[in-house]
Amino acid sequence: MQTNVVRFAARRRVPPTGVKPIAVVLVGVCAAFIPESIFGVTRASEPSENPYLWEPRTKSVAVFKNGLGFFLREGEVDLRDGWCIARQVPPAAFGTLAVFAQRTDELVDVVGSGPGEKVEFDGEDAPSDDASKRNRLAAFKHLNISLHYKQAGKDRSAAGKLVSVGAEFVILEGPDNSFAVPLNAIRSVQVLDLPLRIHVVGEGETQPRRSKLGMAYLRKGITWIPEYSLTIIDENTAELTLRGTLVNEAEDIIHGDVRFVVGVPNFQHTDYLAPIAVGQLIRSIGAAVAPPEFQSQIMTRAALSNTIGAPQFDLPAGVVEQPVSSAPGDALAALGNLPQLPGPGGADFTVYTKHDLTVRRGEKAIVTLFKKTISYSHVYRWSPPAEMKHFLVLHNESSTAWTTGPVLAMSEGRPLSEGLLKYTPTGGKCEISVTTAVNIAHEKTESEIDRKLKAHSPSHNVFLDLVTLEGRLMLRNFEKTPVDVVVTAAVSGKPVSASGGGALSADPCKLRLLERAGTVRWAVKLDPGEAQTLTYRYERYVPSS
């Protein structure tokens, strides 16, 4: 496969100027009053579309939470000598664009771009006889073109929409009037508003007459925000529903498949137009989030081009520059003051797909992505002197990861809590804070049990006492069911012992003698009505009085 790197440029339109002799007679005359018999055509029978104009529609969009979307477009088009033209040049991130053939026996080998296709009727680029001109111009019908011709020994030009090609004249339609240009005087033609040119080859370098092409690109302007609802069913099961709010500031999505991606890739160059690692980036993204039927096509049957800025081409005088594609809106800004909820990145993504979705640019849509029955449990956490907290533990036993998002927990039509469900891989667990635990009585006391006077002298006439303290944590379960309680007691010294298998740990950032600190942690189970007392001891140095 040959990869072609080309430049894109915004196209311009120009009003017709300098139409002489025969054309001058017709300047300002509405085409509706031009006898059709003069040009040998019947305008009412003209097709409404140019068969060589490729107008792909959005087939699939993979949406990330960082304001980027990976778009896939497709469409069929007729080919002239293997070529077709297109006006769709999206503002692709990384300055990249991949155009590929969807049939296994075809290959996009050239993607050209610039000021539009130009044909010279000089006997070398294209034959100069009237029949050849008529046949070539017919491929540009209903497109904006610029004609260059010679009249009365002077070079002339005219521009407008090509509406008909007759035996002797070519009719261009301008903003206010229609114009006629003698066919035999035309020297060249250039397309003004179709900067993309695509060439397709078949097996054995054959030139197919019709092809189905695809386009892949990454662009800014689209994002999604996840949110969950949790409905308690019984003591062990609950129903978890994930909804995604799609914010589209990029382009119209009409009857397309939207893929909501869990996980944000490490896109480092989205703010640059330089084609950095063009092939690897576009193919890596495509292989990760594109539908399976597109992955091999992007990998093997694509030609790549880039949208790096290019110098302006020589265009007719009086041309008004127009962008080839509208710049994306700021999808993240459209969220207002909503909190940002980025999830972990990685090469493997979880993708939720919504088929046949229509969301036009500037619109938002709330989409239900899944509804699953899950198992849950309870845990109580106490870090004295704070109050004990009650948490629901959600068990992800499904085949997909859960992304980070707000969650509203409900039970019997009443809200339990609103919190944050953090990223949870398959087989993992996450906790949601419910409320303060009022049915688990808890109390903490500490007392000094030993003191060694002047146990240490760090300098002359400076003495420190070594004090041993004992803490007591008393728990009692007033719930009707057994409860799991996790207790984490912070101590302002070095922990030395704990009852009930408590785990001791020292703070590695506080190792100076007077600043030592650590924690003691227990995981206990309390039956209904059961009481337990946990004890611990720690040492600390204090100045001698």
What does each C-alpha distance from 260 to 322, 340, 354, 357, 432 come to in angstroms? 33, 16, 8, 12, 23
The predicted pLDDT at position 287 comes to: 53
Tokens 């044909």, residue?
Answer: 119
Strand 196-201's sheet: what is its strand order?
83-86, 196-201, 107-113
**Which of 261-265, 396-400, 503-507 shows the lowest per-residue confidence on average (mean pLDDT)?**
261-265
Residue 449 has pLDDT above 60, yes or no: yes
SS3 for 227-293, per residue?
EEEEEECCCCEEEEEEEEEEEECCCCEEEEEEEEEECCCCCCCCCCCCCCCHHHHHHHHHHHHCCHH
pLDDT over threshold 60, residue 470: yes
What is the predicted pLDDT for the residue at 65?
Answer: 86
Q: Which residues contact 431 (CB under 8 A, 6 or more apart)?
A: 379, 391, 392, 393, 394
Rounded distance, CA 173 to CA 166, Å? 14
Q: Average pLDDT of the chain?
A: 79
Query: Tens digits of per-residue pLDDT, 330-352?
Result: 666 655 554 444 444 444 567 88
Report, as an integer, the average pLDDT of 260-271. 68
pLDDT at 91: 76
On the question of pLDDT at 124 being above 80, the answer is yes
Phi-psi region of 412 (alpha: psi -120 to 50; beta: other; left: phi over 0): left
Amino acid, single-letter form, for residue 199: H
In this predicted model, which residue has the larger pLDDT, 386 or 271?
386
- Angstrom distance (rounded) from CA 491 to CA 188: 87
Residue ranges of domains in the chain, CATH in brackets:
440-543 (2.60.40)
Mean pLDDT in residue range 70-83: 90
For the cut 80, the answer to whether the pLDDT of residue 217 exceeds it is yes
Mean pLDDT, residues 277-283: 40
Least confident window among 336-345, 454-463, 487-496, 497-506? 336-345
Query: What is the pLDDT at residue 530?
Result: 96
Number of C-beta neighbours around residue 280 at 10 A = 9
Per-residue pLDDT averaged across 434-442, rounded?
Answer: 92
Give percent of the chain above pLDDT 90.
43
Give tens-digit pLDDT for 2-57: 333 333 333 333 334 444 333 333 333 333 333 333 333 333 334 447 888 898 99
Return the closest-CA partner of residue 532 out of 487, 481, 470, 469: 487
* DSSP bridge pairs for 539: 468, 494
Tokens for 209, please give them: 């007459």
H helices of 16-69, where? Answer: 21-26, 36-39
Residue 123 class from Cβ within 10 Å (0-12 exposed, 13-18 middle, 19+ buried)? exposed
Q: Is pLDDT larger for residue 60 or for residue 30?
A: 60
pTM of the model: 0.68
Q: Is the pLDDT of residue 540 over 90?
A: yes
Is the pLDDT at 122 greater than 80, yes or no? yes
Residue 329 is predicted with a pLDDT of 65
159, pLDDT greater than 60: yes
* 377-413 residue pLDDT tens: 999 999 999 999 999 999 999 888 888 889 999 998 8
Judge contact between 506 and 492, C-beta under 8 A: no
